[in-house]
Chains A and B, each alone.
Chain A
Amino acid sequence: MSTLKSIIRRVISSIPVLIGVVLVIYLILRILPGNAILTMMGEHAREDVVQQISAELGLDKPWYVQFWVYVTGLFTGDMGTSIKYHKPVSELIAAYFPVTIKLSVMAALVAWAVGILCGVISAMRKDRLADRLGMGFSLLGISVPVFMTAMVLQYLLAYKLKWFPIQGTKEGLVCYVLPAIALGWSSAGSVARLTRSTLLEVMGSDYIDTARAKGRSVPGAVVFHALRNAMIPVITVMAIQISSLLSGAVITETIFSLPGIGRLCIDAISGRDVPLLQGSVIFATVLVIAGNLVADCLYSVLDPRIRKEG
């Protein structure tokens, strides 16, 4: 009961954030210097034409009136019409987002699998070679630009070894493996480091030191027991990853030609399609908020202390 209550409270508390997100994007695209309508038409657009177009799009009204119209539209699922595709933005997003979801989920699986594995190995073999290798591997993931990993994987595993398709989504889930690895590796580092430090904390360094002093490695069962407790902060970090996964998805979708939200954003930018850009960024952000919400809820379910406090 109290869990349900805290979940509901969390959902409610994210509503002002949601409104803020829409407002911020709306303002950035309309109020910052370099008026987006002017940008849409090129900076040398004739003044009378700009005014005419602005009037057609209702942009001559005060911004808060336009904002109200846009927000009330959002509640009915109306995100405007794409200038480039001549289709409702909501329809385009509905067509593109499953790709991004599949990519992000698989990348998250990679990040968590690699990150937790590296973290556990490093913790078990603290200060030995395996620890350094594990930490080095995950730190490298943070440091190598995603596009480089993606291009090298595409070349080696898809082109040279032919294990995976080079691009596109036609061949099903297998198409997402390489983009997911490229994307996931970059997020694995923080998961690995956190897993390692929380594991060490939970197990107690003294215990490991003793075990090692006796010439034994740390028993797996102990690690697994500790891992269970160590998972709680890790879940929080995973939620943070959603945001960076969506950022990285823009790049991997470009390199592997996946038709997802990231490509839609790039398309919207190169086509100066303000409604589409606005819609897809807002949608991506809603995904982040939702992901955080889920993580928060999981967190409160998993950790009794939080539940009590909440």
Chain B
Amino acid sequence: MALFRKKTDVISADLASQIGESEGLGVQLRRMARKNKLAVASAVFLALLILAAVFVPLLSPYDAVNGDASIRLQAPTAAHWLGTDEMGRDVLTRLLYGARISLAVGVVPTLISMVIGVALGVVAGYAGGKTDYIIMRLADVMLAFPSLLLAMVIMYTLGDGVMNIFLALALVGWASVARVARSETISLKETEYVQAARSIGVSPGRIILRHILPNCLPALIVLFTLNIPSAILSESSLSFLGVGVKLPNSSWGLMVNMGRQFLYNAPWISLAPSAAIMLVVLSCNFLGDGLRDALDPHLNNE
């Protein structure tokens, strides 16, 4: 019995077994592209944003750090599409530079937490018994913490810095992944082909790598897409509270924090990064939903 449940539990536990071996990932993704326009639009938006963030030095004539204080807090104009900020810097340019950190904060800690969570979850599910008990109680413990508070405490201990945010969010996020990976593993363990492989003496490591992990993949991809937004939101909350990214680095959360006092006379400074956070989170959610619909026929009751 699990004491705590996360939204990811809603993803059907026996999902992998439903997918079967017949359909490849590519086929499923193409089907999604046909059926779910919103998910496709989201994927395109995210791709464009990543490109813009990578190539912003080529795209923008402005500097990310140095501004012209004499034109601070200017409303959007043809020269500054999203206006200027409190230091007289171009908000759009800052937004795209900030996207580097914010997107990285979405992806990197999520990846780390996936690796930790999958490793522990698969081991727990496959080994069962005491190993399972210990790992899952540890997951219970991690899930019991209000995630933002735990991230704050970890940031406090590690000190500021983007790397530390990665680590803090990864440490906070692995437990829910382990939950899903474990239940996937348990249901896959009972399938005929795994049973067959075990009976002819295939080593556990090989079974996990060859049979269990590949079949967990669809569920994990969905989980990955759905966990990115929460990492982005956590970072923005941490930075907003002043325990996340700090000057002179910039992330969307920090931009909102710095622009907060101008919400009433120069709202573009904080609204632009807020809207960016919202759009990215929405896109990830749409994409995650689309992937789930495509990869998990069981939930396709719509």
Contact = CB atoms under 8 A, between A and B. Distances in A.
B285 A243 contact: no
A243 B147 contact: yes
B7 A13 contact: no
A145 B278 contact: yes
B240 interface: yes
Contacts of B233: 145
B236 A145 contact: yes
A4 interface: no
A217 interface: no
A247 B147 contact: yes
B256 A155 contact: no
A145 B152 CA distance: 17
A250 interface: yes
Interface in A180-201: 190, 194, 197, 200-201
Interface in B39-84: none
A240 B175 CA distance: 14
Interface residues of B, number: 50
B141 A24 contact: yes
B147 A20 contact: no
Contacts of A269: 152, 156, 243
A146 B278 CA distance: 11
B157 A36 contact: yes
B146 interface: yes
A239 B243 CA distance: 27
Interface residues of A, number: 60
B10 interface: yes
B301 A288 contact: no
A14 B149 contact: no
A151 interface: yes
Contact of A284 (B4, B149, B156, B263): B149
B6 interface: yes
Nearest to A233: B10
B145 to A, nearest CB: 5
Contacts of A28: 153-154, 157
Nearest to A262: B149
A246 B3 contact: no
A79 interface: no
A278 B301 CA distance: 46
A20 B133 CA distance: 13
A143 B281 contact: yes
Given A155-B263, A269-B156, A288-B146, A144 B278 contact: yes
Nearest to A310: B1
A163 to B, nearest CB: 18
Contact of A240 (B5, B145, B152, B277): B5
A228 B256 CA distance: 42
Given A33-B158, A142-B281, A240-B4, A250 B263 contact: no
Contact of A296 (B3, B146, B301): B3
B278 A246 contact: no
A34 interface: yes
Contacts of A155: 263-264
B256 A250 contact: no
B5 A236 contact: yes
A10 B137 CA distance: 14
B140 to A, nearest CB: 5
A251 B10 CA distance: 27
B256 A29 contact: no
A247 B149 contact: yes
A277 B233 CA distance: 22
A166 interface: no
A143 B229 contact: yes
B266 to A, nearest CB: 14
A10 B140 CA distance: 13
Interface in A130-175: 139-140, 142-148, 151, 155
Interface of A: 10, 13-14, 16-17, 20-21, 24-25, 28-29, 32-34, 36, 39, 43, 127, 139-140, 142-148, 151, 155, 190, 194, 197, 200-201, 205, 236-237, 239-240, 243-244, 246-248, 250-251, 254, 265-266, 269-270, 277, 281, 284-285, 288-289, 292-293, 296
Interface of B: 1, 3-7, 10, 137-138, 140-150, 152-154, 156-159, 229, 233, 236-237, 240-243, 253, 256, 260, 263-264, 270-271, 274, 277-278, 281-282, 285, 301-302
14 contacts: A17-B144, A43-B159, A145-B233, A147-B256, A148-B271, A151-B260, A151-B270, A200-B301, A205-B301, A246-B146, A247-B237, A250-B152, A265-B149, A288-B4
Top 10 nearest A-B pairs by Cβ distance? Answer: A247-B148, A20-B141, A246-B146, A143-B281, A148-B274, A247-B146, A143-B282, A32-B157, A143-B278, A17-B140
